Each structure stands twice: as structure tokens, then as C-alpha cells.
Structure 1
Amino acid sequence: MKNFITPENNQTKGAFGEELAVKEMRRRGYEILDRNYRSQGGEIDIIAKKDTYIIFAEVKYRAGRKKGEPGEAVDKRKQGHIIRTAQAYIVEKNLDGDFRFDVAEVLEEDGKTYFRYTENAFWLA
């Protein structure tokens, strides 16, 4: 992946990761429907559509691997928040169809930016 200028402070790191994820998702044929959707259950970073799926994508950014891979932060607790928020979105928008939960990982390491996208990263329990 290309080298990108990365954010200097923690407040902008999440936004940087989300912008990069949106660009990569569009490049891969995703239509972005919504961003930073909030409900009482939590927040979903990106809601997109591709083929027959509505995708709820969580973006995780990390500068280095000291705390592990970015996607490891999407634990069962976080998944539960995303699922509840997705259910609120589905009801609010009166949607029916195929839904999927994906994770977009942005890793900054050794002066390079890496992007990994995992489809079906988790499912409804």
C-alpha cells in the first residue's frame, strides 16, 4: 500500500483510519451509505452496500503492534455493541435482506500504512 501521512494525535487517528477505509472500500466496489451512525447501542463506523449485502463495517487503526493486530480490538463486547446498533439501523431504515459484519484494519508500521479488510468478521450470536 502507498505511504500516507499519518495523524499526529489520538483524536485524528480514528478519522484517518475511517477515511482510508472508505477510499479502499469504494475502490473495491462498495457503495457507502452512511458513516458514524449512532444509536443508544453504540456506533457503526461505515455502513455500505455491495451486491445483495448491507455491510456494517468497524474500522480499527493502530500505530504499531504493541497491543496486537487492529482487528483484535473487535472483541465479543464490541461485536455486541455493533450488532445492537445495526439492528437499530435496520429498524430505522425499514431494511430487509442480507446483512454482514466486516472489519477494516489500518496498521501504521515502519513508515508504511497497511490495510486489511475482512468480510464476515463476525456473526449474530
Structure 2
Amino acid sequence: MAQHNDLGKKGEEMAVTYLEEQGYEILERNYVYQKSEIDIIARIGNVVCAVEVRTRSSVDFGLPEETVKSKKINNLLQAVNAFAEDLEDEVEFRFDIIAIVKNGESFDIKHLPDAFYHF
């Protein structure tokens, strides 16, 4: 597996651990609908979060969260709509980004709730 794929998988594992430590329940990982994928679907209280994880080895080419473009957002919307059809509860949905940057031997994790409102 390519090194960037390994880094991405490690980032997703770190994001799951982070969310669980914050009290989120992980509902799905790598949820696929047609050509769209949601990295993590998590729930906290009455809010279900579609979480896009972006992991980078540096910020030389920009911040990880800046790489989530409108096409990805549209794909996430389609996938969330499909996921929501299967839910029996009345819940709120939001879209989060977890941005992870390698910093030497450690990683910096930034959680952006309601991330699409920040762009």
C-alpha cells in the first residue's frame, strides 16, 4: 500500500479514537453510497455527524481542511441522504472535518464541527 494510503488509514484510526474520547458513538466507518464515501458517521446526543477525515504529512501545500471541495461536499450530501433514509430516529445532521497534520513524531488533530459553514 502506498505511503499516503497508510497515512490516511492512520488518520482515520486517530479520528475514531478522538471522537470516542469526546463521547461520540461511531455508527459507521467508510459508509459507501454509489460513488460517495463518508469516512466516519458518528453520533453525539441527538446529532449525527458525517465526518470527513483529512490527513497530511505537512502543510506545505495548504491545510488539510482546505482540500474538501464542492464536489466532495455534494457527494457527502448524497451519501448522508441515503444514510438518513435508514434511520428510525429524528435526529439533526451536520458535517464535520477532522484535519490531522503530522508534526515530527506526533500529530496535531483539529476538529471542525459544522465545517461547511466555515468555507
Bigger helix fraction: 2
Q: How many pairs are equivalent?
A: 116
CA contact (8 A) 1:62 1:108 kept: yes
Residue pairs, 1:108-123, within 5 angstroms: 108-122=102-116
Give, in angstroms, the shift of residue 65 of structure 1: 0.7
5+ unaligned residues in a row in structure 1: which ranges?
1-7
CA contact (8 A) 1:90 1:96 kept: no
CA distance in 2, matches of 1:94, 1:12: 35
5+ unaligned residues in a row in structure 2: which ranges?
none
Name the structure 2 match of 1:52: 46
Q: Which amino acid aligns with 1:92?
A: D
Name the structure 2 match of 1:5: none
Name the structure 2 match of 1:33: 27
2:16 aligns with one of 22, 29, 32: 22
Give, in angstroms, the shift of residue 71 of structure 1: 0.5
Moved over 6 A (4+): none
Deviations 1:4-43 (A, max 9, x none): xxxx812211110000000010111101011000011400
Higher relative contact order (CA 8 A, sep 6+): 1
